[in-house]
Structure 1
């Protein structure tokens, strides 16, 4: 097939754009490390470049370079410009998520994903396809993510903080946008619920719901025992799940392959009553191709995150067909997907009565 010169020049621009994609990530990382969002938030109004540099303790000798840096960040819509005699900068919804004092901030998650322990393993995605190693991470570092995290306390802390940061954001959005899915439940088990961020939010919003967190015994042992809002149970979701009206799986199943997901769902199915008794399973996860985000880049973001998951762990992000396959294999007859949460969706299903 022959291509015209114009087509090839357009293709070059496209390839260059893909080539330089990592620079966008590094600009984001630089913005977080400098604390630009914090300074703009504290200032409370649009800020001139010189004032912003002064507040960030950046030398005037870097003025031209920093202007170019901010020009790129505003093009990326991380910040916005207010035109005038002197351009002034202000926050956008995206940079609001980078304000350290806000409940909904993603700084720890950004730091985790852009740490060399995570990003470096993407260098071997190509060779990994011909490797016997389970993941590119294992090919690059010689061992799996979770094992390496256990050996490196600083990385483990970053991993935990990044996951906790994302959990707080998701929890806030879930309770604002789709809290009704928890209404009327007598009891709920949050499988793999970590420190109980989500379970506490549900218990506070619906005091009539008894909330339990199922976590690995060593995780439960490390938590404070003075929690009167939720109950913590040490156990293994591959063995059994405590009985409850509902089971919540928030960003759990993407960590596992299809066969493992079916086992988890089967144990969850055994833990809940039939549909007419109010039993149900609630999954919060990415459904590739389903999004409430109106921006065109949302689906691409889901695909890219799936590659990151593939790089680090033997899990995957699934489209509706793939979700349907494991849900039906676990013995459920139907399911409902609602893209409430930007890139993520709520999936609900119930256990049918035996005829």
Structure 2
């Protein structure tokens, strides 16, 4: 068992590239278009690949079937809820796969021990990209920023659908909402469609919102969340706080509190969607994923995912009177409501 664990950990990178391979070949789209159980030879011909390599494809698919990404019967392959997320006309999380398997970024992980032993404060990302953080690089090279936003959008769609299914009451009674760090507006578009009477604002850095397509159902405002956030009944902040230090999170949450208090009524709240590390979770894959995200945040942004006690500390330090954590997660994310 001990040797198996070491071997498995060393070979785990194959999972990433097998997933990238089937995204590149649009395997999900081909099985979807086939409309029924798709035999290996039919899948191979649709790509197409040389017949003598059918068995290679079959061996890659065997791994992905074992992992539950695809299903298989005697008649052929079928999609699962996981592989449906990779459909271009669906969530298109293939973009997310491409972002996390960029060659330059993957190669940078070889320097992880160097980051630990170095006396400097440079993150792994900064060491790889000339001392620049992602936000600086995205501003200088819009293509990188657009790619990042597309990847974030791809995971926003299934996350928001799950959020509405489990917690629809969160948006009850609200007349206005600001999505802080809303990027391309993916979350706000979904919220606006689900709650037509809710007036929404996408709020992000000016160069980011400049790329957002104008829409009659929501407004777009450029600005800096560390300085001032537009007033609203609710502030929605999804997968943003894990990019920042505890001190910066307190600054951001204080600005969120000011934004809802400026409405001069008691109904305001802040809705945080982010990971809470729970080592006591019954789902070992969820725990492992949250710990992997924690290391990614550490190396990319010098930030972290947080345990429940850490969330408690920054929420109280930001001046909130109370908060509520919803125990059922949407993927690895939890929902936290903060009350002024």
TM-score, reference length from structure 2: 0.92
Shift of 1:37: 0.9
> Residue 272 of structure 1 aligns to a residue in which SS?
helix
Say if 1:250 and 1:285, in contact at 8 Å, map to a contact too: yes
Q: Could you tell me how far apart the structure 1 residues matched to 2:42 and 2:209 are? A: 48
Q: Could you tell me how far apart the structure 1 residues matched to 2:83 and 2:167 are? A: 24
Q: Does 1:47 align with 2:38?
A: yes
Among candidates 312, 330, 339, match of residue 318 of structure 2: 330
Q: How many residues are aligned here?
A: 336
Superposed, 1:250-329 pairs within 5 Å as 250-273=238-261, 277-289=266-278, 295-329=283-317
TM-score, reference length from structure 1: 0.88
Among candidates 175, 189, 206, match of residue 178 of structure 2: 189
Q: Could you tell me how far apart the structure 1 residues matched to 2:155 and 2:181 are? A: 14
Q: Could you tell me how far apart the structure 2 residues matched to 1:231 and 1:306 are? A: 33
**Residue in 2 that maps onto 1:25:** 16
Q: Could you tell me how far apart the structure 1 residues matched to 2:67 and 2:193 are? A: 38
Q: Could you tell me how far apart the structure 2 residues matched to 1:270 and 1:329 are? A: 14
Distance 1:80 1:282, change over 3 A: same
Say if 1:112 and 1:159, in contact at 8 Å, map to a contact too: yes
Superposed, 1:156-171 pairs within 5 Å as 156-171=145-160
**Residue in 2 that maps onto 1:5:** none
Among candidates 73, 79, 92, match of residue 105 of structure 1: 92
Over aligned residue pairs, what C-alpha RMSD do you find?
2.2
Per-residue CA distance 1:238-268 (angstroms, 9 max, x = gap): 0111222111111111111100000000111
Distance 1:224 1:98, change over 3 A: closer
Say if 2:180 and 2:237, in contact at 8 Å, map to a contact too: yes
Q: Could you tell me how far apart the structure 2 residues matched to 1:345 and 1:290 are? A: 14
Q: Could you tell me how far apart the structure 2 residues matched to 1:222 and 1:98 are? A: 24
Say if 1:279 and 1:350, in contact at 8 Å, map to a contact too: yes
Say if 1:186 and 1:245, in contact at 8 Å, map to a contact too: yes
**Residue in 2 that maps onto 1:205:** 194
Q: Which runs of 5+ in 2 are unaligned?
A: none
Shift of 1:269: 1.0
Per-residue CA distance 1:253-304 (angstroms, 9 max, x = gap): 1111100000000111111139972111100111112899x74311111111
> Residue 129 of structure 1 aligns to a residue in which SS?
helix
Say if 1:291 and 1:298, in contact at 8 Å, map to a contact too: no
Shift of 1:151: 4.0
Say which one has the larger Rg.
1
